[in-house]
Amino acid sequence: MIQTIERKNCPFCGAEQTPLHTGLTDRIFGTAGKWQISTCSDKTCKLAWLNPMPLESEIEKAYVKYYTHAPQDADSAGTSTFKTLQRWYAKLLGCAGERASLETFFLDDDTPKKVLDVGCGNGNRLKKLEALGWQAEGQEIDATAADTAIALGLDVHVGSIHGEHFSGRKYDAIVSNHVVEHLHDPAAMLRRCRELLQDDGKLVIITPNICSFGSRLFGKNWRGLEPPRHIQIFSPFAMRRLLLDCGYRQVSVFTSSARADLIMTGSLDLAFRGSHEPSHARPSIANALMTVILWTFARISTIASKNSGEELIAIAHK
């Protein structure tokens, strides 16, 4: 069992908590325990967090069966067909370009220089940044994931971003995909990133959005919750405030539904099957059809309300 600590007040602004979801269990990797998610009562913050929160010294117990960003299996004929349909439908929804930009952290039009991917996983995105001409480095604390990236010929450091390895190093861009929600102290990570940036260097963060269409629709079955590994789930308001508090400027925070199909597939499994197994295989036909419908609604929702995308993207400068 994971030891916890109660957090009655918002970890960011100190406002009182309001219970959002109770009686949650880990229906993805089977970590023991029941969890509650609270949300900030301050409407200018809206941060969500696990309450009680796992102790940082205990959180590794939640990753015992984690997939560790292992390399993808070779696609079967059925899976390849499904992915082709995904790409086609993304074009139909008008979000294919945005979907591609998410994979390269919206650095497509920047002059390629030196970039660090914090929590780079198996290195797939590092490879894409290299293909754009960037001098790409990665940081990863998961040795299994890092070994996969290193096997691809990538420059990846195994260890904390706060370690001596990064002392004196500077980067023109620092990027991070679905990492900050796993951290007990995201402010410390963001401040460290700022230290490592060149003057006017760029930071790009991608993370789940607690204010999303899917979050409202699925409630406790929303894939973005993932208790107990997602310690804090950001709203656009909380992310903007945090970046400004950490000394960043030119802060731009927006949301995207371009990859909403990935969240919808998992959420449908949790809602109707009671569990979800992360996999790169194609979903059932029923799940795929419902995903297409909900992806469409998510896209419309984002057009109507800019804060309702499934993923939150923050771009800021030192």
What distance in Å separates the CA atoms of residue 22 and residue 52, rounded to the nearest whole number? 11
In a domain, 234, yes or no: yes
In a domain, 6, yes or no: no
User: What's the domain count of the chain?
Assistant: 1
Task: Say what the pLDDT of residue 84 is.
Answer: 82
Cis peptide before 52 (omega within 30 of 0): yes
In a domain, 254, yes or no: yes
| Selection from 93, 173, 161 nearest residue 133 by Cα | 173
Taking each helix axis from N to C end, the angle separating 260-272 and 285-304, rounded to the nearest 10 degrees, works out to: 130
The answer to whether 295 and 253 have CB atoms below 8 angstroms apart is: no
What distance in Å separates the CA atoms of residue 117 and residue 83, rounded to the nearest whole number? 26
What residues are paired with 312 via a beta bridge?
Answer: 207, 255
In the 8-state DSSP scheme, what is residue 121?
T
Task: Say what the pLDDT of residue 298 is.
Answer: 97
What distance in Å separates the CA atoms of residue 120 and residue 44, rounded to the nearest whole number? 31
> What pLDDT digit, counting tens, does each position of 139-163 carry?
999 888 899 899 999 999 999 999 9
Q: CB-based burial of residue 242 (10 Å sphere; 0-12 exposed, 13-18 middle, 19+ buried)?
A: buried
In a domain, 196, yes or no: yes
Task: Say what the pLDDT of residue 115 is.
Answer: 98
| Selection from 228, 274, 219 nearest residue 65 by Cα | 228
Q: Phi and psi (nearest 5°) for 197? A: -85, 145
With a cut of 70, list the residues of the chain below it in pLDDT.
68-80, 279-282
- Residue numbers of the domain that contains 198: 70-103+178-208+228-317
In a domain, 243, yes or no: yes
The separation between the first and the last C-alpha atoms of the chain, rounded to the nearest angstrom, is: 41
Task: Say what the pLDDT of residue 183 is.
Answer: 96
In a domain, 285, yes or no: yes
Q: Is 165 helix (H, G, I), strand (E, B) or coil?
A: helix
What distance in Å separates the CA atoms of residue 141 and residue 25, rounded to the nearest whole number? 25
Task: Say what the pLDDT of residue 69 is.
Answer: 47
What distance in Å separates the CA atoms of residue 26 and residue 20, rounded to the nearest whole number? 17
CA-to-CA dists, residue 194 to 25, 109, 158, 175, 203, angstroms: 35, 22, 20, 11, 8
Task: Say what the pLDDT of residue 65 is.
Answer: 80
Strands 197-208 and 171-177: parallel
In a domain, 115, yes or no: no
> What pLDDT digit, counting tens, does each position of 33-82 carry?
999 999 999 999 999 999 999 999 999 999 888 876 445 555 554 566 77
Task: Say what the pLDDT of residue 1 is.
Answer: 86
In a domain, 305, yes or no: yes
CA-to-CA dists, residue 165 to 150, 251, 252, angstroms: 17, 28, 30
Structure tokens at 80: 């390849």
- Residues whose CB is less than 8 angstroms from the CB of residue 317 and which lie 6 or more positions away in sequence, other chains included: 200, 201, 202, 203, 248, 249, 250
